[in-house]
């Protein structure tokens, strides 16, 4: 959002007070209501999480976000970093308004279909992890991010979420030229001027300018044009931003309507405080923090004219050498393995043809579930396998840990043992976290160094839940 738009350095970002221009533009939209918005922007943002339905189910004692089945508000911001369940991918810390994605996906009618979906601007992974939980497990989700630094955190978050049939790519939108009419659903959560994040992110506030709005419009137009050509006839495109600028929102959607798209109305409940916008001939949703418990957000769904059906592909048979490490996965299909940079990834055979076509057009960072990495000439279980919902834990020695030991493990420490041998699977409250290697009186740590907890326990309270 502002943070994810083209960055200016902090020194040239100007004052931390939003420009008078900003409130003048909002006054044009909201009239005197803009005073209520200004007051809301001076209050702390709501804190919310979205639970992983396959890892956590329904947390008790938390209040549900009404537009998101697995979204919950928290009364205060706890120390998430020191909660092992966060590292195990049991929930994602996400702003509440953006969880309206669920209603947009419902409006497309594609929720239960084995579709091919693309999340074009995906890092750090909020929408992709949500899509992955919303869509049918047989659907393929391609999660793409242009920015190299942000690709790493996207990969980490998607591996921790651990749902199969997920491909991670790192391309600029113009690379979609190689995949015309290929996706049934595309999410474009575009880089934007970030006005809706002003109270969460002081840098978004500081870097705002009318020039930034204009630059964002250009990037959004480019991303939408490429995405639109990659959408199959009859498919749907979900467009969102976290800003209130009409030029970045309704005007962008109006261009898709002019190209033959039809806005789908996203159903909402009047009690949610979400505003329906029907400017510029589009039907969209807007969120304002003085009207609801969430940050600024814009959301629309546009269906492309035409009517091709969702494809089904014949599975590709696997070869014998693929069978051995496949036993680390639940036998839900004849897993097809693809190697990338000394890592074997498991792909559902019904998608291997599609994944190969994607590999020809886009740089693929992770084509499927990372199952095994090659070390000293042998394959050993990959950190992403431990976090996968397709792992078969019965294939490994269970090493259950309490909270203190889980935190020590996530900090990179070895764990004490009596007679440790082979590969162990560290579990916390029955949630797999990662691997250890037996060395007699201790389990050597195999939690990836870049994922380690490096901060000191802060003053913030610990989380109040357990599984
Ligand atoms: N969808 C993400 C989520 O829910 O966690 C947030 C995405 S953020 C709003 C926008 C993303 O677009 C950023 O990760 C940014 O790096 C990426 N981006 C920046 N410039 C871009 C461009 N020209 N085309 C496509 N994406 C771009």
**Interval between CA 123 and ligand 1 midpoint (Å):** 6
Task: Specify the ligand 1 atom closest to the Cα of 98.
Answer: 4
CB 387 within 8 A of CB 438: no
Task: Specify the ligand 1 atom closest to the Cα of 125.
Answer: 5
pLDDT digits (tens, 9 = 90+) for 41-65: 989 999 999 999 999 977 888 999 9
Contact partners, residue 190, CB within 8 Å, separation at least 6? 121, 216, 219, 220, 223, 224, 239, 240, 241, 248, 252
- Omega of the bond leading into 281 within 30 degrees of 0 (cis): no
Is 450's pLDDT higher than 70? yes
Is 3's pLDDT higher than 70? no
Residue that has been written with the tokens 């279980």 in this structure: 381
Closest Cα to atom 25 of ligand 1: 121
Check if 86 has its Cβ closer than 6 Å to any atom of ligand 1.
Answer: no
How much is the average pLDDT of 143-150? 98
What DSSP character marks residue 421?
A: -
pTM of the predicted structure, to 2 decimals? 0.94
- Which among 1, 4, 362 is the best mutation to test ligand 1's pocket, defined by most ligand atoms within 8 Å of the CB? 4
CB 289 within 8 A of CB 95: no
Q: How confident is the model at residue 4 (pLDDT cuts 50, 70, 90)?
A: low
pLDDT digits (tens, 9 = 90+) for 316-364: 655 545 557 778 999 888 888 999 999 999 999 999 999 999 999 999 9
E strands, 331-422, where? 336-340, 343-347, 364-366, 369-375, 378-381, 397-401, 415-420
Check if 123 has its Cβ closer than 6 Å to any atom of ligand 1.
Answer: yes
Closest Cα to atom 3 of ligand 1: 126
**Interval between CA 146 and ligand 1 midpoint (Å):** 7
Check if 1 has its Cβ closer than 6 Å to any atom of ligand 1.
Answer: yes
Q: What SS3 state is found at 451?
A: helix
pLDDT digits (tens, 9 = 90+) for 240-297: 999 999 999 999 999 999 999 999 999 999 999 999 999 888 999 999 999 999 999 9
**Interval between CA 327 and ligand 1 midpoint (Å):** 37
Closest CA to 337 of 315, 368, 306, 366: 368
Fold of 10-43+96-303: Rossmann fold (3.40.50)
State both tokens at 253.
Answer: 């959607």
The domains of the chain are located at 10-43+96-303
């Amino acid at each position: 959002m502002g943070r994810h738009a083209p960055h200016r350095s902090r020194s040239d970002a100007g004052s931390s007070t939003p420009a008078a221009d900003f409130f003048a533009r909002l006054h044009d939209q909201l009239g005197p209501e803009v005073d209520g918005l200004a007051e809301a922007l001076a209050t702390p943002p709501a804190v919310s999480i979205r639970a992983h339905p396959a890892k956590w189910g329904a947390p008790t004692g938390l209040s549900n976000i009404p537009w998101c089945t697995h979204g919950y508000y928290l009364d205060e911001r706890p120390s998430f970093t020191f909660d092992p369940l966060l590292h195990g991918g049991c929930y994602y810390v996400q702003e509440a308004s953006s969880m309206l994605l669920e209603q947009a996906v419902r409006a497309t009618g594609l929720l239960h279909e084995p579709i091919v979906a693309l999340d074009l601007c995906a890092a750090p992974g909020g929408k992709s992890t949500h899509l992955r939980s919303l869509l049918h497990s047989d659907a393929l989700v391609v999660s793409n991010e242009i920015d190299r630094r942000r690709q790493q955190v996207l990969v980490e978050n998607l591996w921790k979420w651990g749902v199969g049939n997920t491909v991670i790519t790192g391309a600029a939108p113009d690379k979609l030229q190689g995949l015309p009419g290929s996706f049934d659903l595309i999410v474009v959560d575009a880089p934007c001027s970030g006005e809706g994040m002003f109270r969460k992110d002081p840098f978004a506030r500081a870097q705002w300018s009318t020039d930034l709005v204009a630059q964002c419009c250009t990037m959004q137009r480019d991303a939408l044009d490429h995405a639109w050509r990659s959408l199959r006839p009859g498919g749907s495109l979900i467009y969102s931003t976290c800003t209130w600028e009409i030029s970045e929102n309704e005007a962008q959607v109006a261009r898709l309507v002019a190209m033959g798209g039809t806005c789908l109305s996203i159903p909402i409940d009047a009690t949610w405080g979400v505003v329906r916008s029907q400017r510029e001939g589009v039907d969209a949703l807007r969120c304002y923090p003085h009207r609801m418990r969430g940050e600024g957000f814009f959301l629309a769904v546009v269906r492309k004219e035409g009517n091709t059906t969702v494809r089904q592909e014949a599975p590709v048979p696997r070869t014998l050498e693929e069978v051995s490490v496949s036993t680390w996965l639940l036998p839900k299909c004849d897993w097809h393995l693809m190697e990338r940079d000394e890592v074997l990834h498991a792909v559902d055979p019904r998608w291997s043809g599609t994944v190969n076509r994607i590999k020809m057009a886009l740089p693929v960072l992770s084509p499927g579930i990372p199952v095994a990495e090659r070390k000293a000439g042998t394959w050993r279980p990959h950190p992403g396998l431990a976090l996968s919902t397709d792992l078969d834990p019965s294939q490994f020695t269970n090493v259950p840990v309490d909270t203190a030991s889980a935190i020590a493990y996530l900090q990179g420490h070895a764990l004490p043992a009596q007679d440790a041998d082979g590969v162990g699977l560290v579990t916390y409250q029955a949630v797999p976290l990662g691997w250890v290697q037996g060395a007699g009186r201790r389990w050597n740590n195999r939690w990836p160094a870049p994922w380690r907890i490096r901060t000191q326990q802060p003053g913030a309270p610990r989380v109040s839940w357990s599984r």
